[in-house]
Amino acid sequence: MADVIQPPKDSFQSRIKARYFATRRDTVITVVFAALVAWVLWSLIDWALLNATFAPNAGDICREDLHGGACWSVVSTRWRIVLFGLYPFEEQWRSAIACAVMVAVAVLSCVPWFWSAKRLAPLWVVGFAVFYILMRGGFFGLTEVTEQNWGGLSLTIFIFSGTSLLGMPLAIIFALLRRSKLPWIARTMALVIDTIRSLPLLSIMFTFAIVLPFVLPDGLTGDKLYRVIIGYALFFACYQAEIIRGGMQALPAGQEEAAKALGLGYWHRIGYIVLPQAFRNALPPTINQFVITVKETSLVTIIGFFDVMASGRAASGTAEWNFAVIEMYVFVGLIFLVFVFSLSRYGAYLERRLGVGKR
């Protein structure tokens, strides 16, 4: 097919010209903005790299530094607090492996081969169990480290994965109950979902962390951390249930009818026909929900947990380092950015791959 006529290709220069320098006004605007961007970028590079102090334990140098570059020394000195919180220093390798395991679990869940409940569920349960055993110890000759001493990124990961592991099955159950043929079940579920969704997450956390112990009998209160995770999971489940329900409603009625006509029972229809397709339909909002959940974990600081955010603040909160708060926040921000940005890029990739909207 050599004789197919190609549209004439604009040269790079002519396109730039047409886009940014078409008129005199365009030219002025372009130049001004280019100068502005260049200045901001240069200042940033100057601050973050050229004039920065990287070496650990260089607080004194930073303090005397007249150029005012970034003091990454606070990060290189105290990064362990950000990642592991108050976890005992000699045991922090456990916390590191635990985090790596959970991150690996999250990455593996993104591989299509794992996309069935039969594979995802064991993956997460085993991953979570390994995480817990490593962190908590008390088995296999590992010294025990109680939840009070967990902190930093590993606590954030623990809360996030606990919320997901508990919240996702709960969301499925909620979505199914809300679709129930018995009106009183469907209505009650709808009421519960809408009520919880209309409450601020903070109030739910306070309820679970602080109010619940007064209400529940002593034996049932459990650790505050787990109550908070349950609160998170409930909140997550109510939003995710609506997302799943949306995915179900997008299914043509013929799908369930065909499954019925083949003699498949309710659970088979749900497990093999309805949910797999509902999740496919609902993939973009589901990933969005995970992104939100990652970010919301930092709310736990308010009730006294040192997640990655609070640990960062603590790490730069000593008299020795209190001038380097910004550097610490940038570091913590970068950690969040890595997680959230890769999640949302992955979501965009999936949308393209599955052609959501096309099929």
* Residue 335 exposed, middle or buried by CB count within 10 Å (0-12, 13-18, 19+): middle
Specify the residue, 204 or 274, whose C-beta has the smaller distance to another protein: 274
Specify the residue, 194 or 257, whose C-beta has the smaller distance to another protein: 257
CB of 86 to another protein, least distance (A): 47
DSSP state of 339: H
* Residue 271 exposed, middle or buried by CB count within 10 Å (0-12, 13-18, 19+): middle
CB of 257 to another protein, least distance (A): 5
DSSP state of 223: -
CB of 183 to another protein, least distance (A): 15
Side-chain-side CA neighbours of 11 within 13 Å: the count stands at 3
Q: What's the CA gap between 197 and 234, in Å, rounded?
A: 10
Specify the residue, 149 or 277, whose C-beta has the smaller distance to another protein: 277
Chain residues binding another protein by CB under 8 A are 252, 254-255, 257-265, 268, 272-273, 276-277, 280, 359
CB of 254 to another protein, least distance (A): 4
Closest CA to 117 of 172, 178, 175, 174: 172
CA 173 remoteness from chain centre: 22
CB of 263 to another protein, least distance (A): 4
Specify the residue, 175 or 274, whose C-beta has the smaller distance to another protein: 274
CB of 291 to another protein, least distance (A): 25
Structural contact between residues 178 and 245, judged by C-beta atoms closer than 8 angstroms: yes
Q: What's the CA gap between 94 and 149, in Å, rounded?
A: 13
Sign of the dihedral through C-alpha 19, 25, 30, 33: negative
CB of 169 to another protein, least distance (A): 21
Q: Count Cβ atoms below 10 Å from residue 45 Cβ, excluding itself.
A: 12
CB of 261 to another protein, least distance (A): 4
DSSP per-residue string spanning 331-358: HHHHHHHHHHHHHHHHHHHHHHHHTTTT
Structural contact between residues 21 and 30, judged by C-beta atoms closer than 8 angstroms: yes
Specify the residue, 30 or 277, whose C-beta has the smaller distance to another protein: 277
Q: What's the CA gap between 41 and 43, in Å, rounded?
A: 6
Specify the residue, 137 or 271, whose C-beta has the smaller distance to another protein: 271
Specify the residue, 8 or 112, whose C-beta has the smaller distance to another protein: 112
CB of 269 to another protein, least distance (A): 10
Amino acid at 29: I
DSSP per-residue string spanning 68-84: ---BTHHHHHHHHHHHH
Specify the residue, 226 or 272, whose C-beta has the smaller distance to another protein: 272
Structural contact between residues 231 and 209, judged by C-beta atoms closer than 8 angstroms: yes
Q: What φ, ψ does residue 181 adopt, rounded to 5°?
A: -75, -20
Specify the residue, 352 or 359, whose C-beta has the smaller distance to another protein: 359
